[in-house]
Amino acid sequence: MKSEVITSIQNPRIKAVARLRDGGTRRRRDAIIIDGCCECARARDAGVTISEVFHCPTLLARADAQNTIESIRASEVRLTEVTELVFKKIGYGDRAEGIVAIAERPKIALEDLQLGDRPLVGVVEGVEKPGNLGAILRSADGAGVDALLVVDPATDIYGPNVIRASLGTAFTVPLVEVSADDAMDWLVNLKLAIVAAAPATTTLYTEVDFTGPTAVVFGSEAEGLTPAWDRPGVVRASVPMLGRADSLNISATAALFFYEALRQRTRRCD
């Protein structure tokens, strides 16, 4: 499809894109905004419905950016070229890579998840910071986590900062927003072992068996886990802390748990 060109920041389409930086606007329009070459490519490869792409040729910094643009040009997606001034109005601060895409918000429910015989599921409760959720998604993607349940989040799970911090893995790891009760019922019905990361316990995360079907639960940055996870059968495990701090950042903790599970599962297959 031939690319259009927009040179004015007063263009109605540009104003509409800029408004998508607001979470309420995204919700009302049932849309998301995606910044960056690899993020757009991963969304496309994951089957996310992209409605339009804006690009600034002079800002296309990545070596593979032109390939991404050419693949979009060959599709039915509306492709619009903009000037640097216009892109500054719609792009993501100083990290702009010259590509912004508008897409339908993915809708994944618990019943949509297709898990194998030995799934590993992450559960993040009350996550507040987009950067932390993005980092957790990157670790989940790298460690082969089957799905990530986001319980009662305090941030938009498909916000542009989450997508950018995740390097597009928000589209490669099935992501479900759910209540604590629904998450617990679903995990129990699937007979997954539930491991909760908690600082006040003597059981270390390396002492937990992650080789079977397992869900790993992490609390919010500020409050930790809610009482919803104080149930019989939930194993609480901690990361050893030898300094003055009593806990790690949630994304660092998630990475340790996920990769310990990967280590045990890989060892079991050797």
Q: How far apart are CA 164 and CA 205, in angstroms?
A: 29
Residues 6 or more apart whose CB falls under 8 angstroms from that of 193 comprise: 209, 212, 213, 214, 215, 235
Question: Which two three-digit tokens encode residue 11?
Answer: 């263009």
Angle of the 37-45 helix axis to the 65-73 helix axis, nearest 10: 40
When pLDDT is cut at 50, 70 and 90, the band that residue 60 belongs to is confident
Confidence (pLDDT) at 3: 67
Give the pLDDT band (50/70/90) at residue 180.
Answer: very high
Distances (CA, A) of 67 to 33, 60, 267: 20, 11, 39
Measured between alpha carbons, how far is 66 from 71 in angstroms, rounded to an integer?
Answer: 9
| Closest-CA residue to 43 (of 111, 122, 105) | 105
Mean pLDDT computed over 203-225? 93
Domain ranges of the chain: 4-104, 110-269
Mean pLDDT check: name the lowest of 9-18, 63-72, 76-85, 116-125: 63-72
* CATH homologous superfamily, domain 110-269: SPOUT methyltransferase, trefoil knot domain (3.40.1280.10)
Percent of the chain past pLDDT 70, that is, above it, reads: 96
pLDDT in tens, 138-169: 999 999 999 999 999 999 999 999 999 999 99
Query: Confidence band (pLDDT; 50, 70, 90) for 2?
Result: low
Question: Could you tell me the two tokens for 213?
Answer: 């079907």
Domain 4-104: CATH superfamily, name plus number: Ribosomal protein L30/S12 (3.30.1330.30)
CA dihedral (97, 62, 5, 25) in degrees, to 10, reads -30
Query: What is the mean pLDDT of the segment spanning 255-267?
Result: 96
Residue spans of alpha helices (H) in the chain? 12-19, 23-29, 37-45, 65-73, 84-90, 130-143, 160-165, 180-189, 250-269
Output the pLDDT for position 114. Answer: 92
Mean pLDDT, the chain, rounded, equals: 92
Model pLDDT, residue 269: 55
Mean pLDDT of 91-119: 90
Q: Is the pLDDT of residue 261 over 90?
A: yes
Q: Which amino acid is at 239?
A: V
Q: In the prediction, which pLDDT does 70 show?
A: 84
Q: Are strands 4-6 and 214-218 parallel, antiparallel or unpaired?
A: unpaired
* β-strand pairing of 50-55 with 78-82: parallel
- Confidence tier at 246 by pLDDT (50, 70, 90): confident
Look at residue 66 and tell me whether its pLDDT is greater than 60: yes
Q: For the residues 226-234, what does the mean pLDDT come to?
A: 91
Specify the pTM: 0.93
Using alpha carbons, select from 130, 254, 135, 249 the residue that is nearest to residue 197: 254
Q: Is the pLDDT of residue 177 over 90?
A: yes
- Whether the CB-CB separation of 198 and 216 falls below 8 Å is answered with no
* Alpha-carbon distances, residue 140 vs 32, 42, 175 (angstroms): 21, 15, 11
Q: Same fold for the domain at 4-104 and the one at 110-269?
A: no
Tokens, residue 87? 């892109």
